[in-house]
Copies of this chain bind each other. A is one copy, B any other.
């Protein structure tokens, strides 16, 4: 007998028909002899609708009350799904955040799960029951409702898999799994059968938004096997394991990209310790998310040029902060507002010589100029002109045998 956590996202529970459909998926799992805990999101669009109402009252709506408001969405799904299962003669029951309880720490709208009581639910599973649990929420030690931030239902599912010692955690969603690149842009994109946590993290943070990154990190930390699969087909999904369980036949697993980037270069900065900290500390305090950072020695060899990328809509805020920064001297600020980041990701890269060279050559063959480069153990990213994004992805997908 296998203990499974099944998580169903917003589109998977977006209508009554779909809730009845996933009730049948759960029923099948139970008839196959599995113990099932289901974690559900709010019905598609519901959370946005609630946020919109709160914004109509105030853009700075009180966060304690926002958590009370938003947590109602998953409560509705829990009750509807339990009712749908009971209609199918399954012994199902909803367990709300305070009924379990799911204990959290941290601020309202951004809490994290620290513990939950397993006794009652384990007893219920032993009596052939299916437990339905709302994702995205918990309570604080003072008994206040807290939420985990957007995408938090994935975090709930992984936390439950860990705390209940489940054998597997399956993320049901509206895509077939994780793809070698965006299937909407590149029709030959292929579903990846197995992928490591690290690769998944690089791919998801780069735009393959299939699963919340911090949930993947938690799964990696506790070695919880994940599977991302479609609610709407019977096809197998993508299995996510630790790296040692994967036999790599290809050096590159996928090609990712991010849009809406902008590149800023500060030229003629003094080349001495603490300069980078002086530049980036005020940006970080202003909540500006700096992505790639590259530092080169300048032509005069006494000063240096620093290049970094931010999201395009934060470029004026970034420039304002740089100009008001009295701790740095520089010659010029150069910006390029229309760049994209394209990355190849693969745990096999490290053991395959020449991947870097092959990437640069391929881009050069397409006439694509590389504006900046950044590398890690399992990822190689370049900044290029935004309009070349698609041809870069296509070319890289082909030359690394992903088509």
* Chain A contacts to B: CB under 8 angstroms: 16, 19-20, 50, 53-54, 56-58, 61-62, 64-66, 68-69, 71-72, 75-76, 78-80, 82-84, 86-87, 93-94, 96, 98-99, 143, 145
Contact = CB atoms under 8 A, between A and B. Distances in A.
- Interface centre among A54, A80, A86, A87, by most B CB within 10 Å? A80
A48 B135 CA distance: 25
A69 B54 contact: no
A19 B57 contact: yes
- Interface centre among A69, A71, A79, by most B CB within 10 Å? A79
B65 A69 contact: no
Contacts of A87: 57-58, 61-62
Chain copies in the assembled complex: 2
A83 B61 CA distance: 6
A82 B68 CA distance: 10
A247 B143 CA distance: 50
Nearest to A120: B143
Contacts of A66: 79, 83
A contact face: mostly helix, strand, loop, or mixed = helix
Given A69-B76, A72-B72, A83 B96 contact: no
A55 to B, nearest CB: 9
Nearest to A143: B99
A39 to B, nearest CB: 16
A87 B61 CA distance: 7
Contacts of A16: 53, 56-57
A78 B66 CA distance: 10
19 contacts: A16-B57, A19-B57, A53-B80, A57-B83, A61-B83, A61-B87, A62-B82, A62-B86, A65-B79, A65-B82, A65-B94, A66-B83, A68-B75, A68-B78, A68-B94, A69-B83, A71-B75, A72-B72, A98-B99
